[in-house]
Every structure is written in structure tokens, then in C-alpha cells.
Amino acid sequence: MKQDFLFKASNISKYYGQNIGCKNVSLDINPGEVLGIVGESGSGKSTLLNCIYGNLEVDEGDIFLNDKSKTILNFTKISEPKLRLIQRSDLAFVHQNPRDGLRMNISAGGNIGERLMAIGHRNYGEIREIASNWLEKVEIDVSRIDDKPSTFSGGMQQRLQIARNLVTRPRLIFMDEPTGGLDVSVQAKILDLLRNLVRELGIAAIIVTHDLAVVRLLADRIIVMQNGNVVEAGLCDQVLDDPQHKYSQLLVSSVLQV
Amino acid sequence: MIQIKNLNKSFELYNQNNTNINVFKNINFKVNKGEVVALTGNSGTGKSTLLKLIYGSYIISKGDVLISDINIRKSTPRDILKLRKNRLGYVSQFLRVVPRVPTIEVVIEPLLDIGCEKNIALKKGQEILERLKIPKNLWNLSPLTFSGGEQQRVNIARGFIYNYPYLLLDEPTASLDQNNKNIVLDLIEKAKLNGSAIIGIFHDEIARNRVASREVNLENL
């Protein structure tokens, strides 16, 4: 196996009883790459994302991470505690609904600080300072640092979730419709933030979205899913500008100007 | 050198009664270092399509595009991304950027992508924006609020901030006034002198005559 990849999933299948969640999907990511997964709702995008992150048990296939020490770990073979540790250190997951990714009853600063403490930060002043910086980056007024996310708007909660996930500088971020519930100007800020992080820190990302304008701006490559299967994969602008599969053509042509 | 060999392109539109559109057949030509080849032909003859095939945005139906030793048809998405980052530039008529990102950041992005230090990139960005007469008070604003001509010049700044050995230009002077047109033509001539191989579409005949070494008419092929 080639050693320069960061993450690889091969022949992933997941069934819900008789129904296909996703079938025989393979993908791989190098450091600093952004992969978009597109398709309409029910196409298996989120199932796939949850499978490869290790949230859902797969029925078939293997998932490999080339970890910080250049050891290749197979998610389907390692222990549960080991997987949880990897999920906290090397990976991050941004949920579509911020309530799934935040602790609603601790403060905004606490939500960010908790992640720092989990990777060994102990100095209270320092943690608070980093948390303030991140609130600023995601455009949440720093005076709200001690407020609970339950008092935030949906858009603010989503920005907080992103800050909480990025503060530990993961190597690969999984995102499920990360800008879905946000208004356009906040989406733009988040997109810009993600692009900069990808370039400056070499963070890689897998982004599930139905928003083709978002993938066009963020992704290097995309895969198109329909009924749990990958129907097309390739360079982002190629798939959007010259889609080869019938379903991709339909998907692209149903959008008003991307 | 850019080499186009027996290039064919057709589009199969499955959701529109399986229509098959043949854009062109058997296109052959070469572009050497230090040459500007202008694509001509009526609207609909596939000039922009040809540029997109070379850039990898469209899938080649038949034939080959060679950029130096790289065969685009046989390249993986990663190969193409790497080629675009280091060697192959493209200036389109349309500006596509993340909203709210300042103009200067948009312009220097290609340099940052190849690992150039931010200070040096910023300096080069300021130089080219000055050269293209984008007022200084606009540099920290998003180009999405700019006029058509200003947006086009931001696109040009992005395309010329780095010396791409291979450059594709889709009507780079289309919405510019005479002064700005001349500035852009100067940039193209400079890239040509630097040894870039350039393929461009220029609807403006005067512009075309000034920079083009040769013309390739897609109707006569």
C-alpha cells in the first residue's frame, strides 16, 4: 500500500436490513485535500460519512488512517477505545445539527476548552485565550464566551461547533452539510476559514453537501452518489461542468447557476 | 509545448432526449514556447470548449492533449491539480471566488498554493493590482462587489501573478476599456517573451493582431 495517503476507505458497504445505505464505496484522501460527496437526500452520503468516521459499523470494507506516527490503522480492526482516541486527536466531525456536536449545557468557551483539555492543555488563562481567538475567527462576539450555546442562534451554534472541532488542529475533518443552516454571508466566512485552514495547516476534509456551489468553492475532487452507489467521481470542475453520468447531469442541471 | 492531437469532443445529454452534440472533430495543432495561438471561429465552434479540454474541466472524447510530457486524457485528478498549481494557468471571463474574501487575498492565492511566503506574495499582489489600475481602496474588499471590468482585471491579476509556462486565456480583454486593454496586452506580451506557451480567445481583432503569433480557425479544421 502506498504510504503517502492520509485516509482510505475501500469497498465500504452498509445495509439497513434489506435497504442499501451505501454499497461498495472506495475513496482516498491525501493531506491537504478536500473531497466533496454530493447527491440528493437519501443517496447515502451521510451514511457513508458516518461509516468511514467510525460512527456506524460497516458491513463490508476496510478503513485505513495513516496516523501521526506513520502507522496505518484499520478502523475495523482496532479496539473501541483506540478508535475514540483517534477520533478525538486526528479526526473531527462537524454535524449538520450543531446540537449533535455541542455540549448545550456548558459555556461556549467551555465547549472549545474541553477539546483542548482532552489533548493535554491545562493552563486556564491560555485555554481561555485560545477559545476567545476562535470565537473571533468564527465571528461570535467574545463577550458571549460564558454563555451557553442554548442561548445562541442556530447559525452561531454551527460556528461554535466548527470552532470546537478545529481548535485541536485535526488532520482530517468530516463535515455533514456544515453550512446547511447558515445564512449566506456566514457561510462565506466559514468557507473562507476552511480554505485557509486547509492550506495553512494542511488539514484535509471530507464534506457531504447537496449544495453544489459550496463544493465548487471548496473541493478538489468530488464523488456523486445515488441510491447508495457512487455513480461518478473526478475533478471537481470536471464533474460539475462536464458530468458523464445521467444522474450527475440531472443533479447539475437542476441547480440555478453554480 | 502544448500539443493537440486528433482531438474530438462531443456531449451526450442523457436528460435531454439523449441528444448527442458533436462540437468538433480531429483538431490538430501545436503551441511552442513563446508563442501565442489565437483560436478563431464563429460562436459555437468550440473555442472555449477546447480551452476547457486542455485545462481538464471537460472530458476528452477522443484524441490527446499533451502539455510537455503530460497526457491530459491519461492524467488522474491529482495529476491535473498538480499541473494547474505549478504549470498551467487559466484566465476565464468569470470571477468565481469565496464571497467576502478581500481582492488582495484572491489575487495572491496561486502564489500561496505553491508555497510562496505571504509577505512576498502580498508584495507581488500589490504590484500587479497597481499595474492593472485597481484602486488601492478596493484591495481589501471582496471583488464580487466590483464592476465587470474590475472583476475581469482581478481575474487577470490572479492569472499573471505567477509565470505559468502554459497559459489559457478566454477573452481576457472582453469588458475592458482601451487603456486597460493595453495593460493586459502588455502582460500577455511579457509572458510570451518569458517563454510561456499561450492559447487564447480574443474577439477583439486589434488585440488579437497585436499578441497572436498564429491563428487556428476551428471552422477550417
DSSP A111-165: HHHHHHHHTT---HHHHHHHHHHHHHHTT--GGGTTS-GGGS-HHHHHHHHHHHH
Determine, for residues B80 and A235 on separate chains, whether the beta-carbon distance falls below 8 Å: yes
The answer to whether residues B119 and B204 belong to one domain is no
B positions 18-37 inside 8 Å of A (CB)? none
The answer to whether residues B130 and B221 belong to one domain is no
Type of residue at B221: L
Question: Does the structure show a pLDDT above 60 at A257?
Answer: no
The answer to whether residues B10 and B83 belong to one domain is yes
Whose grid coordinates read 442561548?
A: A151
Torsion angles phi and psi, residue A4, rounded to 5: -90, -5
The answer to whether residues B22 and B75 belong to one domain is yes
- What CATH number is associated with residue B10? 3.40.50.300
Chain A residues with a Cβ under 8 Å from any Cβ in chain B: 30, 184-185, 188-189, 191-192, 195, 199, 216-217, 220-221, 234-235, 237-238, 241-242, 244, 246, 249-250, 253
Q: How far is B169 from chain A (nearest CA, A)?
A: 17
The answer to whether residues B69 and B129 belong to one domain is no
Top-confidence residue, A246 or A137: A246
The answer to whether residues B114 and B78 belong to one domain is no
Question: Does the structure show a pLDDT above 90 at A256?
Answer: no
Q: How far is B58 from chain A (nearest CA, A)?
A: 5
- The answer to whether the Cα torsion of B130, B134, B137, B140 is positive or negative is negative
The answer to whether residues B67 and B145 belong to one domain is no
The answer to whether residues B2 and B78 belong to one domain is yes
pLDDT tens digit sequence for A142-177: 999 999 999 998 888 988 998 999 898 899 999 998
Question: Does the structure show a pLDDT above 70 at A140?
Answer: yes
| B60 and A CB contact within 8 Å | no
Banded pLDDT at A118 (limits 50, 70, 90): confident
Q: How far is B49 from chain A (nearest CA, A)?
A: 10
CA atoms in the 13 A half-sphere facing the CB of A52: 32
Question: Does the structure show a pLDDT above 80 at A184?
Answer: no
| B177 and A CB contact within 8 Å | no
Question: Does the structure show a pLDDT above 90 at B193?
Answer: yes
Domain that holds residue B83: 1-87+164-221
B132, B148, B163 - which closes a domain: B163
Question: Does the structure show a pLDDT above 80 at B59?
Answer: yes
d(CA A67, CA B220): 56
Question: Does the structure show a pLDDT above 80 at A187?
Answer: no
- The predicted pLDDT at position A190 comes to 76
The answer to whether residues B159 and B173 belong to one domain is no
For A238, nearest residue in chain B (alpha carbons)? B57
For B56, nearest residue in chain A (alpha carbons)? A238
A185, A237, A246 member nearest B57 (Cβ): A237
pLDDT tens digit sequence for A14-53: 999 999 999 999 999 999 899 999 998 889 999 999 999 9
Question: Does the structure show a pLDDT above 70 at B109?
Answer: yes
The answer to whether residues B158 and B193 belong to one domain is no
The answer to whether residues B3 and B62 belong to one domain is yes
d(CA B123, CA B141): 17
pLDDT tens digit sequence for B82-98: 999 999 999 988 888 88
What value does the mean pLDDT take over residues A224-234? 96
Nearest-5° angle of CA B44, CA B48, CA B54?
135
- The predicted pLDDT at position B122 comes to 97
pLDDT tens digit sequence for B3-46: 999 999 999 999 888 899 999 999 999 999 999 999 999 988 99
What pTM was estimated for this model as a whole?
A: 0.92
pLDDT tens digit sequence for B146-158: 998 999 999 999 9
B57, B78, B98 member nearest A241 (Cβ): B57
The strand pair at B166-170 and B88-91 is best described as: parallel
Question: What is the overall mean pLDDT for chain B?
Answer: 94
Banded pLDDT at A179 (limits 50, 70, 90): confident
What value does the mean pLDDT take over residues B65-82? 96
Percent of chain A with pLDDT over 90: 68
d(CA A245, CA B191): 39
- The predicted pLDDT at position A68 comes to 81
| B96 and A CB contact within 8 Å | yes
Using DSSP's 3-state secondary structure scheme, residue A23 falls into strand
What residues of chain B lie within 8 A of the CB of A195, using their CB? Answer: 98
d(CA A8, CA A26): 8
Using DSSP's 3-state secondary structure scheme, residue A14 falls into strand
What residues of chain B lie within 8 A of the CB of A189, using their CB? Answer: 100
Say if residue A200 is exposed, middle or buried (CB neighbours under 10 Å; 0-12, 13-18, 19+).
exposed
The answer to whether residues B5 and B58 belong to one domain is yes
d(CA B187, CA B169): 12
Using DSSP's 3-state secondary structure scheme, residue B167 falls into strand
Number of domains composing chain B: 2
Here the ipTM equals 0.93
